[in-house]
């Protein structure tokens, strides 16, 4: 089964997490009962039980296809191991980036970047895999001479997007834990519970400011604009959740809109940023954006197969 090792490594993720589903292109009509703008395909949602499977590697262009006679066999690949070295690099760089002059702020800001509490590293993994998929043109003969693509400036800039994304994500969680008065995060005491609300808010602000500095260093106004919109979306999504009327609470449209702002916007815009940095066309950048959005919205309904087919068609037409 494709990606089975990768998924088994993250099998402990809570039910509401992204991977708690089975995506089946052959799911019956009962699974596609809700027809809203987010539904383009049939999905079987299993609420975290069972063994997830989906042909993500094909979408990312990572599924090695071995042609034997007329049949095509897809080899198993572990998505995490494909970028394991880079994930460590990103994690180390993140630890260095959140160092602050004031000791109290430093220990607060680094709290969730310490070994063992880095989380699932889902976002950096997706973004680095997206970079691999979208940098393929650099491996074409015409681009020969650009050197080892993993060490090019482009790849470093894309790694920077993964770092910025992770800092914004952690900053939003620090603020969220204050708003929710949470006492636990990633298996340890939440920062607000350990160091108090004030320091937790300031640590979130600090991470956000470090993310801004890293973003500015990319000197790409379109990418800056995308990520700035993400921060705005996070705030809107959180406010929508806090202030939902009872009618809105039962509205699927409201729920999906809130979910986009609060959860999907970050990964979708970051995927788009990866594409833009790779010099991809607006069309490909939009597909990268849709991929990120659908990866999150897949919790309920998804248009991943249609995005998948669009990407396949695009590749076939080249
Ligand atoms: C988790 O929600 C929270 C988020 C995904 C985003 C929260 C966003 C803000 C607080 C806006 C401020 C943003 C920045 C960048 C500082 P949850 O409570 O549903 O999930 P949980 O169980 O992980 O806490
Ligand atoms: Mg919360």
Q: What pLDDT, on a 0 to 100 scale, did the predictor assign at position 39? A: 31
Which chain residues have CB less than 5 Å from ligand 2, an ion? Answer: 176, 180
* Residue 249, CA distances (Å) to 180, 182, 234, 253 in order: 18, 22, 18, 10
- Spatial separation of the C-alpha atoms in residues 306 and 107, rounded to whole Å: 45
Q: Which atom, in ligand 1's list, is nearest to the CA of 175?
A: 10
Closest residue by Cα to atom 17, ligand 1, is: 176
| b/e sequence 287-308, b meaning 16+ C-beta within 10 Å | bbbbbbbbbbbbbbbbbbbebb
* Neighbour tally for 187: CB within 10 Å: 8
Q: How far is the CA of 190 from the centre of ligand 2 (A)?
A: 10
Classify burial at 181, counting beta carbons within 10 Å of its beta carbon; exposed 0-12, middle 13-18, buried 19 or more: exposed
Query: Mean pLDDT of successive 10-residue segments in the chain (318 residues)?
Result: 32 32 29 30 28 33 43 70 92 94 94 86 95 82 55 89 98 97 94 97 97 98 98 97 88 89 96 96 96 78 49 56
Contact 192 CB / ligand 1 (< 6 Å): no
* Residue 136, CA distances (Å) to 52, 141, 178 in order: 28, 11, 42
- In CATH terms, 4-317 corresponds, of 1.10.600.10, 3.40.640.10, 1.20.1370.20, 3.40.50.300, to 1.10.600.10
CB-based contacts of 163, cutoff 8 Å, min separation 6: 90, 93, 94, 97, 124, 214
Closest residue by Cα to atom 11, ligand 1, is: 235
Q: Give the ligand at the shortest distance from the Cα of 174.
A: 1
């Amino acid at each position: 089964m494709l990606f089975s090792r990768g998924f088994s490594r993250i099998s402990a993720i809570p039910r509401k997490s992204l991977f708690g589903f089975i995506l089946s292109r052959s799911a019956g009509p009962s699974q596609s009962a809700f027809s809203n703008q987010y539904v383009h395909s049939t999905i079987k949602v299993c609420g975290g039980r069972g063994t997830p499977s989906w042909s993500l590697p094909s979408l990312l262009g990572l599924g090695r296809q071995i042609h034997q006679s007329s049949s095509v066999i897809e080899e198993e690949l572990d998505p995490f191991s494909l970028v394991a070295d880079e994930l460590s690099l990103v994690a180390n760089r993140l630890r260095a980036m959140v160092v602050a002059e004031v000791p109290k702020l430093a220990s607060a800001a680094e709290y969730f970047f310490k070994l063992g509490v880095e989380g699932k590293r889902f976002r950096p993994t997706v973004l680095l895999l997206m970079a691999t998929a979208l940098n393929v043109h650099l491996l074409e003969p015409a681009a020969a001479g650009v050197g080892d693509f993993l060490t090019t400036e482009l790849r470093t800039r894309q790694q920077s997007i993964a770092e910025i994304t992770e800092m914004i994500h952690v900053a939003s969680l620090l603020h969220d834990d204050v708003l929710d008065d949470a006492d636990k995060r990633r298996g340890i005491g939440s920062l607000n519970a350990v160091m108090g609300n004030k320091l937790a808010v300031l640590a979130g602000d600090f991470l956000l400011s470090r993310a801004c500095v890293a973003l500015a260093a990319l000197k790409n106004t379109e990418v800056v604009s995308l990520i700035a919109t993400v921060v705005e979306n996070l705030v809107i999504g959180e406010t929508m959740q806090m202030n939902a009327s009872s009618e809105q609470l039962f509205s699927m449209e409201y729920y999906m809109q809130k979910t986009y702002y609060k959860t999907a916007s970050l990964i979708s815009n970051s995927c788009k940023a990866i594409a833009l940095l790779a010099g991809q066309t607006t069309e490909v950048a939009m597909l990268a954006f849709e991929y990120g959005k659908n990866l999150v919205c897949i919790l309920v309904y998804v248009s991943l197969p249609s995005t998948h087919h669009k990407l396949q068609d695009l590749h076939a037409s080249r």
